[in-house]
Amino acid sequence: MLLGFATPAGAKPPGPSTFCAEYPSAPACQGTQPACTYCHVAPPQRNAYGTALEGSLAPGKPRPLSNADFALGLPAALRAIANEDTDGDKAPNQLEIEQGSLPGDATSVPPSGTCGGGENPQFKVCQYDARFVYRRLLSDFCGVSPTYVQVQTFLELGSEERQRAFIDQELDRCLQSDFWRGKHGQLWKVAHPKIRPVGSVKSGEDAGQIPLADYYDDYALFAWSQTDDHDARDVLTANFFVKRSGANPTRYTSVTSTPSQTVDALHRAGNMTSAWTLTSFVMFTALPRNAASQMYRAYLGLDIAKQEGLHSVASEPRDYDAKGVKAEQCAACHATLDPLSYPYRNYNGIAGGLSNRYLPNRLELLFPNDATLAQTPEKGVILGQPVNNLLEWAQVASNSDAFAISTVTDYWKLLIGHPPTPEEHAEFVRTWQAFRTTHGYRVQKMLHDLIRTEAYGAP
C-alpha cells in the first residue's frame, strides 16, 4: 500500500495512515501499520486485494496519482471493495481486516470460533488448564519434564488459585536457571538473530581465527535487560556494559567499562554501539545503512527489505554517498532507511585503524576526498520523529509501541511456537500493552502474563 497503483509505481506514504483511519480497530493498525505486502506480493506487483483496490481507486484521475489524490481516493476505494472476497477464501475483505487475517491471501482466514475436537481425559481441551501449564512451563523455562511425584503434588494443591500461585513461584525459580539465562540458554536463543554471531571473527572467550570483536558482551547486555527487575530498554539505551560470571546460576553484572569495548560513555547506546555491532554491521561503510536496518529489524521487528515500517521523509533520499538510491525502484525504501542511518555517521567500524569507536567528523577524517559525503548530517528521523543523534534514536525506538510489540513477539514465538495468530490477537495486545505500561518494560513480569494466556495454557 506504500507503493501506489501506478505504472511505474511511486512511493505513497499516506497509504498506511489512511488505511488505519478507515479501519482504526484493525489488528494491522494496533501499535503498528500495514506493510506493503498487505496489498502487494512484491511491489509493484499487487496481490488480489491490491488489484481489486486499484480498480476502485480515484477513477478518472490521471496516473501516476499524486500523494494527495491517493490519500483522498483511498477511503472510498476501501469501502467500495469492503464486501468483496478478493482472495476467494469465503470471507469478505472487511471481516478479514477487522479479524486480523489478510484479504489478499487465501491461506489467511478469520478465526473460526471453533476449537479442537473430541475428548481428552488428561487435559481441558480448548480451555486454560493449570496442569498443562505446569508441565509446559517446566519444559520451556527449566528444560525438564515434571516427575510423576511433582505432578501429583501439584494436583493435591486443589484450588485453581493455589495452583496458579505455585506456577508463578515455579516460573520465578526457572527464570534463574542456566537453561533460561546461561550461556547458550533460551535467552541467548532469542538474541541470536539480533546479534548474528560469526565465530571465525570473535575475540575473547572462544575466539575465532580472526578475532575482531567479542559478541558475548552483546549477549550479556541482552540477558541483563531481559532478567530480574531490569528494564528491557537497556538493550538499546545502556551507557554501561555487562559482565557474565559463574554458572548455576549464571550472573550478569553491570560495569562502567571493559577492555573489549571502546565507545566512550557519552556516545554509548546499548548494543547499537557495541564493538560487535560496529565491526559486523558498519565495517568499512561510510553511511552505515546495514547497521541502522539491522537495529530496526532486530529490536523493532520492522524489516525495510520487506517494506515494513516505512515512514518516508520529505526530500529524501539525498544520496550523499552516490549509491544511486534516488532511482525509482530504490527511493521508496531509502526515504526511510537513509534518515535512519544518518545518526550512525560518526560511529566507526574497522576502517582507518580506529576501530569500534565514536569519531567526531569520521567522514571528513576517513573519506577526505569526498565533499558530498561530508555533507551527511548526524541528525536523522525514526518512526517519523526527528532525532539529533543515535542516543535519541535509541530513546525513541525503545519507547515505541514497535519495541514493546517486537519484544513480546520474540517470547510468543519462543514459547508458543509461532507469531500471534488472529485468534490470539486480543491476548497478545493485552500482553504487550501491559508490558509497556503496567510492567515498565520488565520481561519477567510480562512472562507471568504470557503464561496465563489461553494461547499458552489451553491444550
Q: Per residue in 120-149, pLDDT tens?
A: 667 777 789 999 999 999 999 999 999 999
How many residues are recorded in the chain? 459
C-alpha dihedral (240, 241, 245, 249), degrees to nearest 10: 70
pLDDT of residue 419 exceeding 50: yes
Read off the pLDDT of each residue in 262-270 and give the average, rounded to a whole number.
98
Place of cell 562502567: 256
Read off the pLDDT of each residue in 223-230 and give the average, rounded to a whole number.
97
Cell of residue 106, nine digits: 487465501
Question: Average pLDDT, whole number, for the chain?
Answer: 92
DSSP secondary structure letter of residue 149 = H
pLDDT of residue 293 exceeding 60: yes
Q: Give the pLDDT confidence score for residue 3 in this predicted structure.
A: 43
Place of cell 480448548: 126
Local confidence band at 450 (pLDDT 50, 70, 90 cut-offs) = very high
SS (H, E, C) the chain: CCECCCCCCCECCHHHHHHHHHCCCCHHHCCCCCCHHHCEEECCEECHHHHHHHHHCCCCCCCCCCHHHHHHHHHHHHHHCCCCCCCCCCCCHHHHHHHCCCCCCCCCCCCCCCCCCCCCCCCCCCCCCHHHHHHHHHHHHHCCCCCHHHHHHHHCCCCHHHHHHHHHHHHHHHCCCHHHHCCCCHHHHHHHHHHCCCHHHECCCCCCCCCCECCHHHHHHHHHHHCCCCCCCHHHHCCCEEEEECCCCCEEEEECCCCCCCCCHHHCECECCCHHHHHHHHCCCCCCHHHHHHHHHHHHCCCHHHCCCCCCCCCCCCCCCCCCCCCHHHHHHHHHHHHHHHHHCCEECCCCCCCCEECCCHHHHHCCCCCCHHHCCCCEEECCEEECCHHHHHHHHHCCHHHHHHHHHHHHHHHHCCCCCHHHHHHHHHHHHHHHCCCCCCHHHHHHHHCCCHHHHCC
Place of cell 548455576: 248
pLDDT of residue 61 exceeding 80: yes
Beta strands in 116-250 (DSSP E): 241-245
Least confident of 57-71, 127-141, 291-305: 57-71
Q: Do 237 and 299 touch, CB atoms closer than 8 A?
A: no
Residues 6+ apart with CB under 8 A from 384: 311
Phi, psi of 203 (to 5 degrees): -110, 175
Local confidence band at 456 (pLDDT 50, 70, 90 cut-offs) = very high
Q: Give the pLDDT confidence score for residue 9 in this predicted structure.
A: 41
Residue 126 burial (CB < 10 Å; 0-12/13-18/19+)?
Answer: middle
Distance CA 238, CA 407 (A): 17
Residues 6+ apart with CB under 8 A from 68: none
Q: What angle do CA 191, 197, 200 make, to 5 degrees?
A: 160
For residue 294, give the nearest of 389, 221, 195 by alpha carbon: 195
Cell of residue 296, nine digits: 530496526
Local confidence band at 119 (pLDDT 50, 70, 90 cut-offs) = low
Read off the pLDDT of each residue in 258-273 and give the average, rounded to a whole number.
97
pLDDT tens digit string along 26-54?
A: 988 888 888 888 888 876 788 999 899 88
